[in-house]
């Protein structure tokens, strides 16, 4: 069943309210954390800001849409599991950055319909940037339309990636890709917040993004931003993107094939540590 544009607009406004509520918590706790803990994997941190921001987001969604499903990073799955709508929430994307007072984090709120991302909002409270998009309704930054970059050559591109928490245990860890693509492009950045990386691809600051080891809440909102800004999102090999795969290739579309072909040719570095 197709979603009407009017319904998407309503969902987009609700997602915006939720992301702003989460961002307000992040602002309030900036530099004031009482505790920083690991969630079981080395480097996978959680703070009271994550938990309270999630509570603020959930309150907004549950007030407006009590019959929808929710998948949140800290509290897991809840709501009506028979609903075709699923909200994927990362209340604090970039917790490690946040814990170290490195201002590159965001609240990310995405909506899936039958598993397909259709609404995405990413709010960066440290730079006061609100990225919004809904399927067929375009993408904006602070209510102004955005589009991906026009860069056509991989050699002239600026890319971004990230490294998963299991990077110490697996050779499938992006290190080889990072090194090789640093040589082949104008640079590769590591932001530390996938939702913001995707938002930056959407608004043309970056030309492409790839990463593995991600969760649905890391990508759901950003996928909509990139696609609605005119970009392309697939698996590494350009097959259809699967949110549960943990892998994503997102570009301006112009360098998509070049980046995909390059990634497929790179062999992992041997683990020597």
At 169 the pLDDT is 62
Residue 156, classed as helix, strand or coil, is helix
What pLDDT sits at residue 36? 75
- DSSP per-residue letters across 220-268: HHHHHHHHHTT-EEE-TTSSBP-GGGS-EEEE-SSSHHHHHHHHHHPPP
What's the pLDDT at 25? 96
Evaluate whether 14 touches 60 at the Cβ level (below 8 Å): yes
How far does CA 20 lie from the centroid of its chain? 16
Residue that the structure tokens 């104008």 belong to? 186
User: Tokens at residue 216, please?
Assistant: 């649905």
> Residues 135, 107, 247, CA angle at the centre, nearest 5°?
65
Whether 38 and 51 have beta carbons less than 8 Å apart is answered as no
Closest CA to 16 of 272, 225, 259: 225
Can you list the domains of the chain with their CATH numbers? 5-145 (3.30.540.10), 154-265 (3.40.190.80)
Chain segment 80-107, per-residue pLDDT in tens:
999 999 999 999 999 999 999 999 999 9
Task: Tell me the HSE value of 166 on the side-chain side, using a 13 A CA sphere.
Answer: 9
The per-residue pLDDT string of the chain (273 residues; one tens digit each, 9 = 90 and over) reads 789 999 999 999 999 999 999 999 999 999 888 777 776 665 567 788 989 999 999 999 999 999 999 999 989 999 999 999 999 999 999 999 999 999 999 999 999 999 999 999 999 999 999 999 999 999 999 999 999 999 999 999 999 999 876 656 666 778 889 999 999 999 999 999 999 999 999 999 999 999 999 999 999 999 999 999 999 999 999 999 999 999 999 999 999 999 999 999 998 766 655
- The 3 state secondary structure assigned to 27-96 is HHHCCCCCCEEECCCCCCEEEHHHHHHHHHHHHHHHHHCCCCEEEECCCEEEECCCCCEEEEEEEEECHH
For residues 80 and 62, the answer to whether their CB atoms sit within 8 Å is no
Check: CB of residue 154 under 8 Å from CB of residue 255: yes
With 0-12 CB in 10 A as exposed, 13-18 as middle and 19+ as buried, what is 245? Answer: middle
Q: Rounded to the nearest 5°, which phi and psi values hold at 246?
A: 80, -5
Contact 235, 241 (CB under 8 A): yes
For the segment 196-217, what is each residue's pLDDT rounded down to a tens digit? 999 999 999 999 999 999 999 9
- Helix (H) or strand (E) holding 208, with range, is strand 208-211
Q: Which of 215, 243, 249, 242 is nearest to 91 (CA)?
A: 215
Say how far apart CA 67 and CA 82 lie, in whole Å. 9
């Amino acid at each position: 069943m197709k979603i009407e544009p009017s319904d998407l607009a309503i969902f987009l406004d609700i997602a915006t309210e939720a992301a702003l509520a989460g961002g307000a918590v992040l602002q309030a706790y900036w530099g004031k954390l009482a505790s920083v803990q690991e969630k079981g994997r080395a480097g996978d941190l959680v703070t009271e800001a994550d938990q309270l921001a999630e509570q603020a987001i959930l309150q907004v969604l549950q007030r407006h849409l009590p019959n929808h499903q929710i998948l949140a990073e800290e509290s897991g799955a809840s709501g009506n599991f028979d609903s075709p709508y699923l909200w994927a929430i990362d209340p604090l994307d970039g917790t490690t950055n946040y814990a170290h007072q490195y201002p590159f984090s965001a609240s990310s709120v995405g909506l899936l319909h039958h598993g397909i991302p259709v609404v995405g909002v990413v709010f960066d409270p440290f730079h006061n940037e609100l990225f919004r998009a809904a399927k067929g309704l375009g993408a904006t930054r602070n209510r102004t339309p955005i589009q991906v970059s026009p860069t056509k050559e991989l050699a002239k591109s600026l890319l971004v990636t990230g490294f998963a928490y299991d990077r110490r245990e697996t050779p499938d860890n992006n290190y080889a890709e990072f090194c090789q693509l640093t040589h082949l492009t104008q640079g590769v950045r590591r932001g530390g917040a996938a939702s913001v990386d995707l938002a930056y691809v959407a608004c043309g600051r970056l030309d492409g993004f790839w990463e593995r080891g991600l969760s649905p809440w890391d990508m759901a909102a950003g996928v909509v931003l990139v696609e609605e800004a005119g970009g392309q999102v697939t698996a590494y090999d350009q097959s259809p993107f699967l949110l549960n795969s943990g892998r994503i290739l997102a570009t301006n579309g112009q360098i998509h094939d070049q980046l995909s072909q390059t990634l497929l040719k790179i062999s992992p570095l041997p683990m020597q540590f």
